[in-house]
Chain A
Amino acid sequence: MDFSSINPALLIASLMVSATPILLAAIGEAVVEKSGVLNLGVEGMMIVGAVVGFIVAVNTDTPLLGFVCAAIISGIFSIIFGILTQYLKSNQVATGLGLTLVGLGLSALLGRPYEGMKSPTLKALEIPFFSDIPVLGKMLFSHDLMIYFSIFLVTLVWWFLKYTHAGMVLRAVGENHDAAHALGYKVVLVRMLAIMFGGATSGLGGAYISLARVPQWTEGMTAGAGWIALAIVVFASWRPWRVLFGAYIFGGVTVLQLNLQAAGASIPVEYLSMSPYLITIVVLVIISSRGNQGAPASLGRPFHASS
């Protein structure tokens, strides 16, 4: 085994790459859950984003356009969930599962002609001066646009929830939808917007997998990233900066096990590849044993205006 092949600077850099899809999906889902809606369809929305982004990027040779379209289409896709749960009052858990199953089917259908192709990738943005700093420059300042965007998005969500009136209304709706309704806020509208935002960021996360991290299209390539994003929202107690922290920790584990595989560690490959999932379970157990603090009080509860 050769540990010297693991370069810490590259490790951090690739950690950010591997964390970004989950971060994008999780920050959107955090907003959705803050509004009181549990959308278990993250995996489905991500894979739709992955395939749409890939198709658009390959056909136009413009990865950025791929990301934009992935966000739009996944946002539209999430409207199905929104209409079913918010207007037709269906069970959120079942509908979320359905969204995942449909997303997997739809993406497989759309992506079949593209199996095995390579996509154009985003160029790394070399930030003048900063990217020339030894070690740090390679580690933090030589990434593509989406990585910076994902961090910007976390900041934006944090600011929105904490400092804006609209953010406060969103939290209020998630906390007590009956009271919010009694005060005259449009509960369903707020939730629909949150669901669409969650859909769009999940789409971006999915597209990041097919356009930057891998970059090619294979069926079912999200491989549970959406579910892990859901776990990270719980881990983060619905707080934006903790979502970032959780996603990066998770990215670290993934990258480390990949590096260990590459370095030929004596642990069998299968055990290494199951480690991210096992670690997610361990994290969930630790979180739950100290109580799920900060969960929005109306999370997952159906809302029907009685009057």
Chain B
Amino acid sequence: MFKLEKRPEQSQKWIYLSPFLAVLITMISGGILFATLGENPFEAIRIIFWDPLFDPSFASYSRPQLLVKAGPLILIAIGLSFGFKAGVWNIGAEGQYILGAIFGASVALAFYPMESKLIFPLMIIAGALGGFLWGLIPALLKAKLNTNEILVSLMLVYVAESILASVSQGLLKNPDGYGFPGSRNLQNYASAANVEIIANSGMHWGVLFAFITVIFSYIILTKHIQGFNIQLTGQAPRASKFAGVNPTANIVFCLGISGALAGLAGMFEVSGPSGQITIEFNSGYGFTAIIVAFLGRLHPIGIFLSGLLIALTYIGGELAQLMLGLPGASIQLFQGMLLFFLLATDLFANYKVKIGANK
């Protein structure tokens, strides 16, 4: 039997080590999973983690995709990490992402076909605002009435999906679309298109925003009193009240920021890689970002790295689908397993594990 002994202080070594251990265990058990599905586990792991970046026949397509997928994941996960640190559980980023996209696209479509340099900045503001407002609903309910933010933010995802379905068949439907649901393609509208900053790199404006957000959040969390207050609230809510932190402002800040960032991610997606509002516009980034945030230890740099890793599993997963016919869902499962193993290995940071006779 093994025995747990609580450490007086969290082990710094294990905080950094456990994500790597989790990735390793996930690869091993993923391999076992693929083997049971009748595939060569080594080949499958290679196709997912290596080929997208280094195989000459895929890399030219896959490498830019890495940033395209990582951008929204990082952007959303950074926002979520603020809330998770403060003990405010926003799990409705998917809904905020949708609303950001709808707001951003609406601005663009309202100006169509006028061309102006102001349109794209305006869309950015609208996208952030859309996500912010959607995040504000659970925030205010939590702050004023102590309503459970987990359930409210999640319910709002389903509401957002209904709104998305409605606008893509109604309000924002392409009048020249021969009756098909879905908006105009913003990629074909120069003033509203979120284009690559460097050609064939995948680096569009959203990715740039994600990188800037990483730096900003690093500064806020390590140097700014607001970042300190967030962490204090999460670790010792009573101490934060004693320190004079305004709980309402704190909750609104956390949910508002994560909403705004998720909204931005949605806006950049609809004006860039996706191009248009459709019923199937959202693809689960809001949920996957939860895994990204935890895998990155709620730390900006960690989130940056884990965002890239999870993006890689997306692309690798698509490749595996193509090459081996592995079902797409197996990647979702893979990502979930990663979260589980990470949570399990967290044990080492907080406890000493003693193996031996249980006296």
Direct contact of A and B (CB under 8 A): yes
Interface residues of A (CB under 8 A from B): 40, 80, 84, 88-91, 93-95, 97-98, 101-102, 104-109, 112, 219, 223-224, 227-228, 230-231, 234, 268, 270-271, 273-274, 277-278, 280-281, 284-285, 287-289, 292, 304
A255 to B344, CA, bound (A): 41
Q: Are B166 and A101 in contact, with the CB atoms below 8 A?
A: no
A259 to B91, CA, bound (A): 31
A104 to B287, CA, bound (A): 11
**Interface flag for B314 (CB, 8 Å):** no
Q: Which residues of B have CB within 8 Å of A88?
A: 343-344, 346-347
Q: Known contacts A89-B347, A90-B344, A101-B290; decide if A274 and B163 are in contact (CB<8 Å).
A: yes
**Interface flag for B151 (CB, 8 Å):** yes
Q: Are B151 and A284 in contact, with the CB atoms below 8 A?
A: yes
Given B91, B148, B156, B290, which contacts A288 in the complex, CB threshold below 8 Å?
A: B148
B19-78, CB < 8 A from A: none
Extra A-B contacts (5), CB below 8 Å, given A93-B150, A98-B343, A270-B166: A90-B347, A94-B339, A101-B336, A106-B329, A281-B141
**Interface flag for B294 (CB, 8 Å):** yes
Q: Known contacts A84-B344, A105-B333, A280-B151; decide if A274 and B145 are in contact (CB<8 Å).
A: no
A104 to B335, CA, bound (A): 11
Q: Known contacts A89-B350, A280-B155; decide if A273 and B150 are in contact (CB<8 Å).
A: no
Q: 1/0 per residue B157-188: CB within 8 Å of A?
A: 11100110110001000000000000000000
Q: Known contacts A112-B327, A227-B151; decide if A271 and B162 are in contact (CB<8 Å).
A: yes
Residue of A nearest to B164 (CB): A270
**Interface flag for B147 (CB, 8 Å):** yes
Q: Are A98 and B162 in contact, with the CB atoms below 8 A?
A: no
**21 chain-A/chain-B pairs, Cβ below 8 angstroms:** A84-B343, A89-B347, A91-B346, A94-B339, A94-B343, A98-B340, A101-B332, A101-B335, A102-B333, A102-B340, A104-B332, A105-B331, A105-B336, A106-B336, A112-B329, A224-B155, A274-B159, A277-B156, A281-B141, A284-B147, A284-B151
A89 to B345, CA, bound (A): 10
**Interface flag for B351 (CB, 8 Å):** yes
Q: Are B340 and A84 in contact, with the CB atoms below 8 A?
A: yes
A268 to B156, CA, bound (A): 18
Q: Which residues of A have CB within 8 Å of B335?
A: 101, 105
**Interface flag for B152 (CB, 8 Å):** yes
Q: Which residues of B have CB within 8 Å of A97?
A: 91, 290, 339
B305-352, CB < 8 A from A: 327-337, 339-340, 343-344, 346-347, 350-351
Interchain nearest-CB distance for B273 vs A (Å): 23
Residue of A nearest to B147 (CB): A288
**Interface flag for B291 (CB, 8 Å):** yes
Q: Known contacts A89-B351, A281-B152; decide if A94 and B294 are in contact (CB<8 Å).
A: yes
A230 to B343, CA, bound (A): 22
**Interface flag for B4 (CB, 8 Å):** yes
Count of CB-CB pairs between chains A and B under 8 Å: 132
For the complex of A and B, the 3 pairs showing the least CB-CB separation, nearest first, are: A108-B329, A105-B332, A102-B336
A91 to B340, CA, bound (A): 11
A178 to B69, CA, bound (A): 46
**Interface flag for B154 (CB, 8 Å):** yes
Q: Are B347 and A105 in contact, with the CB atoms below 8 A?
A: no
A274 to B340, CA, bound (A): 32
Q: Are B152 and A284 in contact, with the CB atoms below 8 A?
A: yes
**Interface flag for B222 (CB, 8 Å):** no
A98 to B339, CA, bound (A): 6
Q: Which residues of A have CB within 8 Å of B89?
A: 93
A186 to B322, CA, bound (A): 50
Q: Which residues of B have CB within 8 Å of A280?
A: 151, 155
The interface residues of chain A, by DSSP majority, are classed as helix
Q: Which residues of B have CB within 8 Å of A90?
A: 343-344, 346-347
Q: Are B290 and A281 in contact, with the CB atoms below 8 A?
A: no
Q: Which residues of B have CB within 8 Å of A304?
A: 4, 6
Residue of B nearest to A103 (CB): B336
The residue in A98, A230, A231 that gathers the most chain B C-beta atoms within 10 A of its C-beta is A98
Q: Are A284 and B148 in contact, with the CB atoms below 8 A?
A: yes
A197 to B95, CA, bound (A): 32
Given B145, B294, B336, B340, which contacts A289 in the complex, CB threshold below 8 Å?
A: B145
Given B145, B159, B334, which contacts A277 in the complex, CB threshold below 8 Å?
A: B159
Q: Are B151 and A230 in contact, with the CB atoms below 8 A?
A: yes
Interchain nearest-CB distance for A102 vs B (Å): 3
Residue of B nearest to A224 (CB): B158
Q: Which residues of A have CB within 8 Å of B4?
A: 89, 304
Q: Known contacts A98-B339, A105-B332, A304-B6; decide if A270 and B163 are in contact (CB<8 Å).
A: yes
Interchain nearest-CB distance for B282 vs A (Å): 12
Q: Which residues of B have CB within 8 Å of A281?
A: 141, 151-152, 155-156
Q: Which residues of A have CB within 8 Å of B340?
A: 80, 84, 95, 98, 102
Q: Which residues of A have CB within 8 Å of B152?
A: 281, 284
Q: Which residues of B have CB within 8 Å of A227?
A: 151, 154-155
A88 to B341, CA, bound (A): 11
Q: Known contacts A84-B344, A88-B347, A277-B155; decide if A109 and B162 are in contact (CB<8 Å).
A: no
Q: Are B333 and A91 in contact, with the CB atoms below 8 A?
A: no
Q: Known contacts A108-B332, A224-B154, A280-B151; decide if A292 and B146 are in contact (CB<8 Å).
A: yes
Q: Are A277 and B327 in contact, with the CB atoms below 8 A?
A: no
Q: Known contacts A84-B343, A284-B151; decide if A223 and B329 are in contact (CB<8 Å).
A: no
Interchain nearest-CB distance for B26 vs A (Å): 12
Residue of A nearest to B287 (CB): A101
Q: Which residues of A have CB within 8 Å of B151?
A: 227, 230-231, 234, 280-281, 284
Given A84, A268, A288, which contacts B146 in the complex, CB threshold below 8 Å?
A: A288
A268 to B327, CA, bound (A): 35
A88 to B344, CA, bound (A): 6
A102 to B166, CA, bound (A): 30
Residue of A nearest to B333 (CB): A105
